[in-house]
Structure 1
């Protein structure tokens, strides 16, 4: 299992980085839209859709919704302050606060939404749509003056999340004794959680030294700490929904890694939260 995970990671990471820096905004948006459709397909299990046909329709409807939102943007004007972009990013802050309360009170909280397919679909929309717009907003920001400025920001967030995941895994394996959320994800520990945050802090410091990120260190650290915390929450939230659905992995598309949601669960929280804080709250760019 570990061998297949490493091989897949060594293949996927260069592909993702190449997509960030080589695809134009339209191509990047389409690629992200396809990823979101695959995520919606997997979310169908969380919403209680056992039929393959139902899940296909869910993926198609998700793609049509995102495509419609894209087509309503004014030509050559993709400002983050447009409602099609700003509203989903702002909604993500509220959703992840609610998700935190759901995780902290699980399994009691599940009694409020366990039997409501509509609520579980709404949770999927609040997870996938802001993620899409967070990716698009960060990638295309300042694209006119610097084609790679947004790519650096997205790479930074991804490394931040990957660092938190890897640090949590290593510290958890070496020192983990105290369970972080045993009712949601028994394998996660407080030692791993702290180790992940330390790893993210080191990555943030290194990027501030060497990468072209035009922002003050204070704003960068504030956004990064909250995004790193959100990434842990994204992972725990997906674990909660998988536990309710009675499944181990969201899918089997990626060898050794499970499904698309298993790989982007942390990013679905970290990316829109980071984008909203950086572009709308602090307005640092």
Structure 2
């Protein structure tokens, strides 16, 4: 299993970085849309849809919704402060606050949504659609002035999430004693959680020194720590839905890694929350 995980990582990481820096906005939007469709297909299983055809239609519906939003906003990358985009990012902030409550009070909270496919689908849309717009708005950062500014921001968020996850794993292995959310994800500890936040703070400081991000260090640190918190919540939320669905992995698309959602669960929370704070709360663009 470890061999497959390493091979997949060595293949996927260069592909992701190449997509960030080499694809123009339209092509990047299409690739992101396809990733979101795959995520929606897997979310169908978390929503209780066992039929493959039903999940395919769910993926198609998600793709049509995102394509329609793009069609209505053909020039979104010149002005991200548009009601539809801002609404999606604010909705993400609201959804992850709700998700935090669902995780904190699980399994009692599951009684509110366990028997409702519609509600679970709404949760899926609130996860996937803001993630889509978070990816696109960050990629569009000062695009007219520098085609790579947004790519550096997205790369930063990805490094932040991956680094915080690795830091949490190492600190958890070395010092982990107290469970963070034993009823949702027994492997996570408070020591690992704190270690992950510490790692995120270090990454924020180093990246701010090495790359000209044109943002005050205090703002960058605040956005980074909240995004790191959100990334943990994204992981826990997917674990909660998988536990209710009785599955270990959301899919089997990536050898050794499970499905698309298993790889981007942290990013689905971190990216839109980071974008919302950076672009809407602190108005840095």
Structure 2 length as normaliser, TM-score? 0.98
Name the counterpart of 1:95: 95
Give the match for residue 153 of structure 1: 153
Q: Deviations over 1:163-183 (max 9, x none)?
A: 011111122122211110000
Q: Is 1:199 paired with 2:182?
A: no
* Structure 2 CA distance for aligned equivalents of residues 173 and 3 of structure 1: 21
Distance between the aligned counterparts of 1:99 and 1:76, measured in 2? Answer: 28
Partner of 1:73: 73
CA contact (8 A) 2:77 2:140 kept: no
How many pairs were matched up? 285
Give unpaired runs (5+ residues) of structure 1. Answer: none
Q: In the TM superposition, what whole-angstrom CA distance separates every residue of 1:248-285 from its partner, at most 9, and x where no partner exists?
A: 00001111110000000000000000000000110113
* Secondary structure of residue in 1 paired with 2:92: helix
1:30-41 superposed matches below 5 A: 30-41=30-41
Partner secondary structure for residue 193 of structure 2: helix
Query: Displaced runs of 4+ in structure 1, greater than 6 A?
Result: none
**Contact 1:152/1:212, CA 8 A, preserved across alignment:** no
Does residue 1:22 correspond to 2:37, yes or no?
A: no
Provide Cα deviations, 1:216-247, integer angstroms capped at 9, x if missing partner: 00110110010000000000000000000000
Distance of 2:66 and 2:95 partners within structure 1: 19
Q: CA deviation at 1:83?
A: 1.5
**Equivalent position SS for 2:186:** strand
Question: Structure 2: which 5+ runs fail to align?
Answer: none
* Structure 1 residue matching 2:187: 3-state secondary structure: strand
How far the C-alpha of 1:195 sits from its partner, in A, is: 1.3
In the other structure, the counterpart of 2:59 is 59
- SS of 2:254's equivalent? coil
2 CA distance for matches of 1:132 and 1:221? 23
What is aligned with 2:266? Answer: 266
Question: Per-residue displacement from partner, 1:72-116 (whole Å, max 9, x unpaired)?
Answer: 014476422112211000100100000000000000000010001
Deviation at residue 191 of structure 1 after TM alignment: 1.3
Normalised by the length of structure 1, the TM-score is: 0.98
CA drift at 1:140? 1.2
